[in-house]
Amino acid sequence: YRILAGYFSTEQLDIFFASFRIPDLVFELLITGALTSSFIPIYIQYQNSKEDLRINVSSIINVICLVLIGCIIILLLFLNPLIYLITPGYSSTKINEIITYSRFLLIGQLPFLVVGNILTGIGQANKIFLLSALAPIIYNLGIIISIILFAGSLHLLAPVVGVILGAVLFFVVQLPLLAKSDFNYSFILRKTEGLRKFVRITIPRIVSVLVAQIDATVDLTLTTFLGAGSYTIFYFAQHFQLLPVSVIGISFGQASLPYLSEIYNEGKIEEFKKIIIDSILNLFFLVIPISSFFILARIPLVRLFFGGEKFDWGSTVQTAITLSFFSFSIPAHSIYYFLTRCYYAFLDTKTPFFVGLASILINTAISLFFIMILKLPVWSLAISFSISMTMNSAVLFYLLYKKLGGMNLSLLLTESAKICFAALSSAVFSYYLMKLLDGLVFDTTRTINVFFLVAAVLFAFVSLYSFLSWILNVREMYLITKLLIKAREYRNRIVELYTTYE
């Protein structure tokens, strides 16, 4: 992102990021919606029989590819009116550029990225991780190299070409996985039990992803009314906020499902309830300080990660404000993924879906009110997201609390209050320390000194937060090592559970 911000203005990046909206929607439906939710469990289920594996997995892959081809053809036919519909505030020139780049991405990037992720799933099912880990790095390198070499001549087309090149490399570098795995691909399509199971599992998940993608599209639509660069500011702030959510919240949520399912299926309800409270507190202990640090150090963080030659001070300030409002949702957003897995553990996918749908409708309504009625800037979209996400997680927890006949709320509230106090106190101290160091010790007109400033303030923040947690006897301070051990236990149980579950 920093390289993009260095070569292109925020107005140009609006076009670039908006061009991904339709291709990303298809990608999320096929990969996040279909592939990640059921492909690996089904693959593992048939792994003991090469013939069953070949027939079932080949049929699943071919269905995904057929749906992909169908989506691409339909979208290419209706792309013009669709882009005009979702970007009403842009000029015709800007919209035509988005249409052109979207076509390139639909044809050149999307197929390789989807098939590449199928190969990633095959590699993970066979416990081959090296190539799958290298593929995203090579994908990003393709984009970076293309920008550096061709931005001067191809302009905004350079990163688009880089994305296509990166997607091709992402696919090619993982081709050896087919030879190393126990799977032999066949061009067949049979109504096998594996395919029926795949469809049955994925349809509810696809609907959930579709609703979320519609919400993301509404955000794009609203930013088109806020002036040049608004979508880039929103995009940068949102994706920076997602970093701790992805690394901690999503990873923990995904890893916890097998263990939660096993505990619930064994009828250990009291242990199940204890795990919920402990896990939420462990997540809070990690993400509440991150949320606080993002808010206090918003300006230097944005400068460090997005500061480029064409990313001006006004864009920096707007992105920082937007990031700070997004950061309020980090704790709720992080536990959301764990709470949904608690429902999945007793085979309830409807409750998270309907609560999520209500949350998205609330987010959309508040966003429309802020932008169309109050005429607030882009940071108001971050406020509406934080409100709706906090409500989402709160309702999920409340319904879970009622379903399980109560949990240890006093422990949750007491420990959460301690964590919040430690994080807030550390943030206030670190903020004034940052103000003192900025200019007095570090000349922050240079990027390297911004890095040293952030590092120094982060060290002080973590040290004080750890000290206060110890003084306040925050139990998560001592349980954090158990959290890491538990995470390893979760991973160890995944394969075993997937072969017997469902």
Round to whole Å and give the CA distance between 494 and 255: 8
Q: How far apart are CA 444 and CA 335, in angstroms?
A: 35
Q: Tell me the chain's radius of gyration from C-alpha atoms.
A: 23
The predicted structure's pLDDT at residue 487:
53
**Residue 69: band (very low, low, confident or very high) from pLDDT cuts 50, 70, 90:** very high
| pLDDT at 501 exceeding the cut of 50 | no
Task: Find the Cα–Cα–Cα–Cα dihedral 171, 174, 180, 182, rounded to 10°.
Answer: -50
Number of Cβ within 10 Å of residue 164's Cβ equals 21
Rounded to 10 deg, the angle between the 379-403 and 313-327 helix axes is: 10
For residue 481, the model assigns a pLDDT of 56
Q: Would you state the structure tokens that stand for residue 78, as one six-digit string?
A: 């209706």
Q: Please choose, from the candidates 304, 338, 272, the residue with its C-alpha nearest in 3D space to the C-alpha of residue 458.
A: 304
Q: pLDDT confidence of 198, banded at 50, 70, 90? A: confident
Q: Supply the pLDDT for residue 494.
A: 38
Per cent of the chain over pLDDT 90 is 56
Q: Label residue 405 left, alpha or beta by phi (over 0 means left) and psi (-120 to 50 means alpha).
A: left
3-state secondary structure of 455: helix
pLDDT higher than threshold 50 for residue 496: no
Average pLDDT over residues 353-366: 90
Of the listed ranges 50-54, 193-197, 282-286, 491-495, the least confidently predicted one is 491-495
Task: Please check whether residue 335 is in contact with residue 248, taking contact to mean a CB–CB distance below 8 angstroms.
Answer: no
Average pLDDT, stretch 79-95? 95
- In three-state secondary structure terms, 323 is helix
Alpha carbons 223 and 381: distance in angstroms, whole number? 9
Query: What pLDDT, in 10s, does the model give residues 250-280?
Result: 878 777 766 777 787 778 888 888 888 988 9
Model confidence, pTM: 0.85
For residue 500, what pLDDT is reported?
Answer: 36
Query: What integer is the mean pLDDT of 238-260?
Result: 82
CA trace torsion 105, 111, 112, 113 (10° rounding): 80
pLDDT digits (tens, 9 = 90+) for 296-337: 999 999 999 988 778 888 899 999 999 999 999 999 999 998
Strand partners, 438: 442
Q: Are 249 and 340 in contact (CB under 8 A)?
A: no
**Residue 488, pLDDT score:** 54
Q: Give the pLDDT confidence score for residue 112 in this predicted structure.
A: 96
3 versus 36: the higher-pLDDT residue is 3
pLDDT tier at 498 (50, 70, 90 boundaries)? Answer: very low
Written as six digits, the tokens of 206 are 């696809």
C-alpha 502/C-alpha 343 separation (Å) is: 15
Render pLDDT for 96-131 as a digit per residue (tens, 0 to 9). Answer: 999 999 999 999 999 999 999 899 888 878 878 788
Distance CA 329, CA 232 (A): 20
Helix (H, G, I), strand (E, B) or coil at 255: helix
Contacts of 332 (CB under 8 A, 6+ apart): 386, 389, 390, 392, 393, 394
pLDDT-derived band at 502, boundaries 50, 70, 90: very low
Contact 235, 380 (CB under 8 A): no
Q: What is the mean pLDDT of residues 77-91?
A: 95
Q: Which run of H or E residues covers position 478?
A: helix 476-500
- What is d(CA 308, CA 222) in angstroms, rounded to the nearest whole number? 26
Q: Which amino acid is at 350?
A: K
CA distance 454 to 466: 18
Counted residue by residue, the chain has a size of 502
- 18 pLDDT more than 50: yes
**pLDDT tens by residue, 444-490:** 888 899 999 999 999 999 999 999 999 998 888 876 656 555 555 54
> Any idea what DSSP says for residue 293?
H
pLDDT digits (tens, 9 = 90+) for 166-196: 999 999 999 998 888 888 888 988 888 889 9
- H-assigned helices in 173-192: 176-180
Note the pLDDT of residue 499: 35
pLDDT value for 491: 47
Query: Which pair of tokens denotes residue 324?
Result: 């700070």
Side-chain half-sphere exposure of 18, counting CA atoms within 13 A:
37
Cβ-proximal residues to 342 (8 Å cutoff; 6+ apart), any chain: 260, 276, 400
